[in-house]
Amino acid sequence: MEKVFSSEASPNIAFIKYWGKRSANRNIPTNSSISMTLDPRVLNTRTSIVASERLKEDRLFINGEPQVLGGASATEKSKYIVRTLEYVRDLSGNRSKVLIVSQNSFPSGAGIASSASGAVALIEALLPSFGITLDADRKSDLARLISGSACRSYFGGIVKWNVGKESDGSDSHAEQVFDENYWPELVDLVMVVSKARKAVSSSEGHELTVKTSVLYKERPAFAEDGVKKVIAAVSKRDLNALAELIMRDSNNMHATMMDTWPPIMYLTDVSKQVIYAIHDLNKGKGKNIAGYTFDAGPNPHIITTDDYKEEVLGVLSKIPENTKIIESHSGHGPKLLADGDSLIDMESLLPKKDGK
């Protein structure tokens, strides 16, 4: 049996968001962004890959579902995955097709960035399958070409993705600003209020907002300033300041989404209840002990610290639709899993050795 490589990566939650691209094809952003990489022990994508001459075509399964990789019905993401596979084949000179099996520990497409952890886990297992070694910076760039926000999940802790100036994105890289041990008490309480797939994909949304929103013109400068302020707040472990920056940036991004034509609305009534509940809580305390943020979906991420966690959970437990809360501190970047940690018996999905 050909060697199977398996990897694990986690999603990230952006404190200052990436929304809008200078180039859709290469996921070059209009502004810098900054995020916390989540704990892979809590939220992860695991991916197993085998490159085999027995395969006649590339095969990809996500959460047990076969994905269409080529042809007219393939999604943009699938096309970017195919582009990455071709790049890796060209680099290695090995033209073998691959079998990729990927599993998320959390619902896909509901505002928890499965595309980020998915792209990173893919790159991490794919390169060794073709005998390629690249440094983390280069791997992060490859992940970005599949899904922009993925470049931040290549590093642990608090990670900045620099906007860069070059039109080809060659200076738009992610870098770790603080490692996962810098502020270990910082925690993301992820409320899973909806497992439904989003109506407008983030890739479509990025483009439509830049094209049609009047408010969007103000956003790149606002976000750039926000990134600097977030770095200052984290460096002082200042939750009061950080929470406000996070909430304002989320609100600002969702305002540009609402201002998109036709409007994009990811927030639901439950999301709004959480927004009001957190403002009430902070008001009662006389300072911000928690901040909410929402990606392209309705699921609230509440950023707080262990000191206030129970109090915040108490408030969230009163929200009627609150079914499940996942608690995640900051975690490390991706890793290769040990031999034998394959997700499933990969051999059973490969054509038999005699070609049948």
For the chain, how many residues are written? 356
Selected binder of ligand DP6 within 5, 6, 9, 18 (CB under 6 A)? 18
**33 vs 129, which CB is nearer to ligand DP6?**
33
Residue nearest to ligand DP6 (CB): 148
Q: From 46, 130, 47, select the one nearest 91 (Cα to Cα).
A: 130
- Which of 27, 102, 273, 342: binder of ligand DP6 (CB under 6 A)? 27
Q: Please, what is the minimum distance in Å from the beta carbon of residue 231 to ligand DP6?
A: 16
Q: At its nearest, how many Å lie between ligand DP6 and the CB of residue 350?
A: 30
Q: Could you identify the residue written with the tokens 């989003």?
A: 198
Give the nearest distance from C-beta 326 to ligand DP6 in angstroms. Answer: 17
DSSP, residue by residue, 42-96: TS-EEEEEEEETT-SS-EEEETTEE---SSTT--HHHHHHHHHHHHHHHHH----
Check residue 301 for interaction with ligand DP6 (CB under 6 A). no
Contact 226, 242 (CB under 8 A): no
Instruction: Please give the Cα distance from 305 to 62 (Å, whole number).
Output: 33
Q: Considering beta carbons, is residue 148 or 291 the nearer one to ligand DP6?
A: 148
- Closer residue to ligand DP6 in complex, CB, 149/252: 149
Provide, rounded to whole angstroms, the least separation between the CB of residue 343 and ligand DP6.
Answer: 23
The answer for 71, left when phi > 0, alpha when psi is -120 to 50, beta otherwise, is left
Among 8, 124, 249, 295, binds ligand DP6 (CB under 6 A): 295
Nearest CA to 5 out of 50, 70, 61, 63 is that of: 50
Would you count residue 206 as binding ligand DP6 (CB under 6 A)? Answer: yes
How many other CB atoms sit within 10 Å of the CB of residue 107? Answer: 17
Footprint on this chain of ligand DP6 (rule: CB under 6 A): 14, 17-19, 27, 33, 113, 115, 147-149, 202-203, 206, 295-296
